[in-house]
Structure 1
Amino acid sequence: MARDITDRPHTWRVVIVDDSRTIQAMLDNAFSKRKDFKVIGFSGEATTAVELIRRLQPDIVTIDLNMPYIDGAALLRMIADMKTVCKIVVSDAPLKNLALAASLIQSGAALCLGKSDLAANPDRFFAQVNAAVEDVRRNRMLYLGANSDFGDRTVAAQVPPNSGGKDFPIPIDEKDRLQFVLRNSLANGERERQFDLVTRHVTRVTGFPVSLLTFMDRDTQWIKSASGLDPGSTPREEAFCNYTIAQGGAFVVANAASDRRFAHFSSVAGPPSIRCYAGYPVTTRDGINVGALCVIDNRVRKVSKQVLDQLAGMADIVAEMIDRRPPADA
């Protein structure tokens, strides 16, 4: 039975997200000493944290800023749709970078504190936490009232072929795109754990059975990461993601079997019998669509705005991961 969110609960239910067991224990001990709080879960990384938070629906989540693979800022974006959860960033040191603090708050943080703040003045630390969670509680009914029905809107993009003799659209900046994926060693089937965490997360939050992260060289689509399907490669002329990287937003195919652009694909006519596809481009800070994050299903279905929003957010995170790492030829 759902709790009446208009009433203050007897205790605030807390999930702690931090890759340090020592810090988890410290925060657990601090919260447990306060009668208004109850710690109900722990996680040491972002993807497992998302699953835990969605399952437990806590009142408060404390988020470590510096975690491996996917950091706290990215985690905030991954749970941005959970408006009724008070998200508190608890960083290693008090945030002195005002631009970073503003960015975290824009991403959904209700409060940014340092772990040293807890040690220096516990009463002040918890007074700030209480004020933040009360603010979120007051906004809950406003949010739920305004967003009780998102609808089930589907975006169906059409891309006019710019083929250069090919049977698929070619991005205008194809030369720059190819140079980028080759220079950064993306056009291959070598698995990378950080990308696998993303595709696993996408299948969980979208409800689609398969999620793929793909990059293409001149002739081949490389499945860099896959959840729900074996990774590998396909000929580029049979890649839905050609259409995704050729435009600036979501690309959706509701029924590939009835779409003349895709009905002849071996992945449509035969296993895995793709029917529905939704993809979003992975765009670098220079504005190049270097790859695509997508979901597929073997049944015809609508694609909701929530699914497209999740793809867009996670594609941004993949782009950030790529932009941060040094080129393979460095």
Structure 2
Amino acid sequence: MQEQAHLLGSPELANPFLSPEFTLALGRCRREVRIAVVREEGEPVAFFPFQRTRLGVGRAIGLGVSDSQGLVHRPGFQWDARELLQACRLAVWEFDHLVEGQKPFEVGVVRTFPSPVIDVDQGYAAYLGQLRSRSPKFARTTLAKERKLGRDVGEVRYIHDERNPEALRTLMAWKSAQYRRTGRSDRFAHPWIARLVHQLFHTRTPSFAGLLSVLYAGGRPVAAHFGLRSEHVLACWFPAYDTAYAKFSPGLALHLRMAEGAAAEGLAYLDLGRGEKEYKDSLKTRDLSVSEGWVTRRHPVAFGHRARRAPVRALRNTVLSRPELFDPADRLLKHMGKARQIKIAPHRFSNSDEQ
């Protein structure tokens, strides 16, 4: 169903986070993973992956790390959201990256967000031409910094599909350091997330792969990214770089190389994921939409879960959407992260801005 989705009018279902491989890998790391199968006349017509607590609280598969969520179905399939929840013994189902085209779930949408993408279906040259036309200074500066990286550090080399596990460990160390110095929670401090990434790194099928891309300079890695690839979409997930080379903006150079590699593989676009970042605005060609919210049944567990979660989400979204609140909050987190890093390892990391 997913492999044919782009041909049958549901391109949003082509995202690799909706692939069976992602759900199966997560199921090896989290016990509460379930997959509901909807059948008509004995034939499967839809698949609904979810996570369920013993009390019947349901969450989208990979909530917190998945950038695309929903029900994978045949074209034209209709369903009743609350009947589906009842069949799955769920009082509530929470999502934060619901894809477009999931109308029965839209009754529970609280807020919708842009998810920027880089279209490469016309080839990398066409994309780069658009980028130069739309953001000439950004394109010129990024390409010039990559050339300077080659002159100052050594030959720049890009590997689109790096299979060396040591490179993945390097990326995860960089990302953990980035989380800490910016005051964010370190995702890789959660053992199940680290296990999931390793599982996906070793997962390869004709229609899915965990993809590690690395930019080298002078024989050493300077930027890397780990994401998921389906037949038509590269979902960007964990980008990071060595802060010793921050002045060369290696993360931006890496994203351009990734776009070139994705185009060469015949992919349609790179999904940069929800979240307002300056580099995403500069690189993107358009936005998709993803939503967050809850679908609930009339059940005390549903009322309790929503009462507990709604204020937290509302506060976070208010801060993220208002610069007068986000900027000081972001500075405070970075200040706390910097103080924590100085206390832990004052010699290891620089204080350069994130890209």
Normalising to structure 1: TM-score of the pair?
0.31
The higher radius of gyration belongs to 1
Give the alignment's TM-score, normalised by structure 2: 0.30
Higher relative contact order (CA 8 A, sep 6+): 2
Higher share of residues assigned helix: 2
Structure with more of its chain in strand, by fraction: 2
